[in-house]
């Protein structure tokens, strides 16, 4: 005899309900790990089959008798995933296991609860962010390099952020004191502005960055040493930042010998750290050396996965990545917090029409060009006033300051155009009154532009010296 609960009409409904509960349990609580297999390694690119994870996910390649290799998914074709390794691939062979990497979990402290990672983004890159980074030196993966123990007071966060609506940003209206006389007076920087330092190699970009790191008025300084010499990391910290500067600074180092993936990741990580402190309402100074090495790392990755080159070997993705990185800095939501950013741009062969230099000049809010000829003559900082410009200067200075800067640039340019005639004795005094005035003021103007790296020039002092350098009454 059949009971009402087990009649044929009610059995399908009970099974459907049971299957629905089982599917929900598997979807929410399953800990099954999807693994793939390494099938190909060509140059810098790993190719894996059997694993389906989104682009940007972190994976771990494992083999017996060797350390696992961290890699990031940079593309796919059908059921094949292309990965870029973040470590040495020596010793890997076909058949190695590939699995999604676990999220970063900070070291727990006594009395604190560990928050589990979000299962939906378990494979996405998560790096430590927090106040515990102040005074520390970390690499592109968030591991300390200063031998001061593990990071404390940090939390794991996904680096990808939604861009800020342009209408929610406050315009640049407040001048920022950088401590460099020529920049304060002639190329005034606004809080929240993004500028580029353009120069060839060995002209003094790093020294100028160090001067601004030491003297600029900022709550937090974030330094990204991307693709530069490893020797500069310790020198920058000890000789330039010093003890006082290091307490309010975070240094992210990805030297030239790091894989291209880590160089790109280092730039994104440094920007994410600056965004974290900006969201707390602080004024952040972001110094990145250099934007060109970031583009070169992207070029290596793009060419390795088969993207065609466009301009001087740079594929189109390089020029798409630059604004995505640069636009993350600037003023925060509704004027709360700011990131004032300086990016160094390496001009190959001192060519200002280099494709990366030209693209960076178009997306930045100003450019400071360093001249090799000035550097060779012992003129430091070797800022070429004629080729440099700040696009927000007219918004952050008063009318008197702007007119004095315009007069200085006019006289300086006038002398540079007539310098050859003056030096060979072909110019007759009195032929051009403006050139006569420029010749008389030239020694004071050159002295104004030069500054020792250990000398600070506050804004008020720079303006007073600017007025003195262009005053005929002050001549002996």
Average of per-residue pLDDT across 280-303: 93
pLDDT at 62 over 70: yes
Q: Which tokens hold the place of 426?
A: 């072909």
Query: Which one-letter DSSP state was computed for residue 328?
Result: T
Write down the pLDDT at residue 48.
Answer: 94
In this model, does residue 297 exceed pLDDT 80?
yes
Is the pLDDT assigned to residue 427 strictly greater than 80? yes
Residues 215 and 248: their CA atoms lie apart, in Å, by: 13
Top-confidence residue, 452 or 202: 452
Mean pLDDT of the chain: 86
pLDDT at 26 over 60: no
Does the pLDDT value for residue 29 go beyond 50?
Answer: no
Residue 32: predicted pLDDT: 57
Which pLDDT score, from 0 to 100, does residue 182 have? 96
- Helix, strand, coil shares, percent, the chain, to 5: 40, 20, 40
User: Alpha carbon of 94 to those of 49, 91, 101, 368: distances in Å?
Assistant: 11, 10, 20, 50
Q: What is the mean pLDDT of residues 387-411?
A: 95
Length reported for the chain: 476
Q: How many whole angstroms separate alpha carbon 140 and alpha carbon 210? A: 21
Q: Give the mean model confidence (pLDDT) for residues 308-331.
A: 91
Distance in angstroms (rounded) separating the CA atoms of residues 9 and 16: 12
Lowest mean pLDDT among 281-285, 336-340, 470-474: 470-474
Residue of higher predicted confidence among 374 and 162: 374
Residues near 364 by Cβ (< 8 Å), separated by ≥ 6?
A: 194, 195, 196, 326, 343
pLDDT of residue 97 exceeding 70: yes
* Token pair for 298: 């992207």
In angstroms, rounded to a whole number, what is the distance separating the alpha carbons of residues 77 and 48? 10
| Pairing outcome for strands 189-190 and 175-176 | antiparallel
Residues 87/259, Cβ–Cβ less than 8 Å: yes
* pLDDT confidence of residue 44: 82
pLDDT tens by residue, 169-205: 889 999 999 999 999 999 999 999 999 999 888 888 8
pLDDT tops 80 at residue 84: yes
């Amino acid at each position: 005899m059949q009971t009402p609960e087990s009649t044929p009409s009610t059995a399908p409904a009970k099974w459907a309900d049971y299957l629905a509960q089982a599917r929900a349990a598997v979807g929410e609580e399953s800990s099954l790990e999807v693994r793939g297999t390494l099938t190909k390694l060509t140059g810098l690119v790993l190719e894996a089959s059997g694993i389906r994870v989104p682009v940007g996910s972190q994976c771990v390649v494992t083999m017996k008798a060797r350390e696992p290799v961290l890699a990031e998914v940079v593309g796919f074709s059908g059921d094949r995933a292309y990965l870029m390794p973040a470590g040495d691939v020596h010793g890997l062979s076909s058949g190695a296991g590939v699995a999604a990497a676990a999220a970063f979990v900070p070291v727990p402290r006594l009395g604190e609860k560990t928050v589990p990672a979000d299962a939906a983004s378990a494979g996405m890159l998560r790096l430590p962010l927090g106040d515990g980074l102040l005074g520390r030196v970390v690499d592109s993966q968030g591991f300390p390099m200063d031998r001061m123990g593990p990071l404390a007071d940090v939390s794991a966060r996904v680096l990808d952020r939604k861009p800020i609506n342009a209408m929610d940003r406050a315009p640049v209206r407040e001048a920022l004191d950088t401590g460099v006389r020529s920049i304060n007076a002639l190329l005034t920087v606004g809080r929240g502005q993004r500028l580029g330092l353009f120069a060839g190699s060995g002209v003094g970009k790093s020294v100028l960055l160090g001067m601004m790191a030491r003297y600029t008025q900022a709550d937090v300084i974030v330094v990204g040493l991307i693709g530069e010499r490893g020797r500069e990391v310790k020198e920058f910290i000890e000789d330039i930042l010093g003890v006082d500067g290091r307490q309010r600074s975070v240094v992210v180092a990805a030297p030239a010998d790091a894989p291209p993936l880590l160089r790109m990741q280092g730039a994104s990580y440094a920007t994410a750290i600056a965004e974290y402190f900006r969201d707390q309402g602080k004024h952040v100074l972001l110094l990145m050396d250099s934007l060109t090495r970031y583009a070169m790392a992207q070029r290596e990755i793009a060419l390795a996965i088969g993207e065609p080159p466009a301009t001087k070997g740079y594929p189109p993705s390089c020029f798409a990545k630059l604004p995505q990185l640069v636009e993350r800095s600037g003023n925060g939501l509704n004027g709360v917090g700011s990131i004032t950013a300086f990016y160094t741009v390496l001009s190959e062969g001192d060519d200002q029409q280099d494709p990366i230099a030209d693209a960076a000049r178009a997306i930045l809010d100003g450019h400071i060009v360093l001249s090799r000829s000035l550097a060779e003559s012992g003129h430091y900082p070797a800022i070429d006033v004629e080729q440099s410009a700040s696009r927000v200067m007219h918004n952050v200075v008063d009318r008197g300051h702007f007119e004095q800067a315009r007069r200085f640039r006019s006289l300086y340019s006038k002398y540079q155009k007539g310098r050859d005639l003056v030096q060979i004795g072909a110019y007759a005094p009195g032929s051009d009154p403006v050139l006569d005035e420029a010749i008389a003021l030239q020694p004071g103007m050159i002295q104004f532009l030069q500054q020792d790296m250990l000398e600070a020039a506050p804004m008020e002092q720079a303006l007073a010296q600017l007025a003195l350098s262009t005053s005929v009454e002050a001549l002996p």
